[in-house]
Amino acid sequence: MKVKIERKNKELVGNKNFMINIQENISLVPYTTFRIGGLAKFFCEVKNQEELKEALDFAEKNKVVVFLLGKGSNILFSDDGFAGLVIKLIKGACQISGTNMKCGAGMSLAKVVILAMKTSLTGLEWAAGIPGTIGGAVRGNAGAYGSEMKNIVQAVKVFDIKEKQVRIYNSVECEFEYRCSLFKKNKNLIILSVTLELQKGETEQISQKIQTIVKKRKDTLPKERSAGSFFKNPITNNKKLIKQFEEEKKVKIRDDKIPAAWLIEEAGLRGKKIGGAQVDKKHSNFIVNTGQATAQDVIILASVIKQKVREKLSIQLREEIQYVGF
């Protein structure tokens, strides 16, 4: 076992037994789907609980804050980067037992979807095409086309940074809500693994469903760099607005939530551009990086959207994505 801390700063407290490679001043650009961000003061990748503990130990000894990164598909790093240790959770194995799948939190959702299909397990097809890790998806209760993680999570194993202990939560204890969970509310909880409860199905049918969903996503979502839906779909009791939406779109709203994309269009902001950040023309709740966008461009555009939607429609939009390092 060997430490590999690429030190520029001699004051750093290392430990000869560390196995992880802690790097300094690493660009965060390639680690997010937005392809935006400054430098991480420290950066490392961890693939299991032991390595995670080493990284946390390093942060504690060197008195720096930590940020846990999955695939970076739901965040915006600041142009100034992150003045602490970014710990990227990678890989992770999956054990399948009957209709249960126990997956390491760093596994990509895409891999879990394919593995479920190959094992003839149904219930996760809706997640095809969502570009995050399974840990990130559980933390944000990711969802699409009327389904969400909440419906299939049986148990979640976490490491509590504050209490320094491992705990297991059942589905009810996870306190899942619309794009939220206990793990989003309590930043001390790092998800280590997730057990999903799926159902027996037919591989061919599952494969067909996945292909249909992937095609639908290709047709309706932008190809450009983004962090997915920027704002949550707000809950409203404005009957006039709901009626207008339902008549125009010929669909009923679900759970009193009105699509943020439609509100942004109603505010006249489809295609609105600030610097390199733009409201996507295909899906108005996506802010895309057209090439050289800075985090500042994105933040200014998001503020304009919030202000205009509030002024024109009296609705307050709230971010689904997370700002880091601001």
Residue 18 CA to chain centroid, in angstroms? 29
Q: Judged by CB under 6 A, which of 115, 155, 180, 221 binds ligand FAD?
A: 221
User: Binding string to ligand FAD for residues 76 to 95, with x set by CB under 6 A, is what?
Assistant: -------------x------
How is residue 323 written in tokens? 């700002």
Q: What does the alpha-carbon distance between residue 88 and residue 70 come to, in Å, rounded to a whole number? A: 6
Asked if 67 contacts 74 with a C-beta cutoff of 8 angstroms, the reply is: no
What are the tokens at 158?
Answer: 């976490």
> Residue 205 CB, nearest distance to ligand FAD (Å)?
21
Tell me which of 179, 193, 225, 284 is the catalytic residue: 179
- The minimum distance between CB 170 and ligand FAD, in angstroms, equals 17
- The residues in 130-189 that bind ligand FAD, with binding defined as CB under 6 A, are 130-133, 135-137, 139-140, 142-144, 183
In the region spanning residues 24 to 63, those forming contacts with ligand FAD, defined by CB under 6 A, are 33
Catalytic annotation on 179? yes
Q: Which of 73, 66, 108 is nearest to 91 (CA)?
A: 108
Write a three-state SS string for 247-315. HHHCCCCECCECCHHHHHHHCCCCCCEECCEEECCCCCCEEEECCCCCHHHHHHHHHHHHHHHHHHHCC
Interface with ligand FAD, residue 75, by CB under 6 A: yes
Nearest approach, Cβ of residue 195 and ligand FAD (Å): 14
Binding site for ligand FAD (CB under 6 A): 33, 68-75, 89, 105, 130-133, 135-137, 139-140, 142-144, 183, 190-191, 221, 226-228, 322
| Residues with a known catalytic role | 179, 229, 320
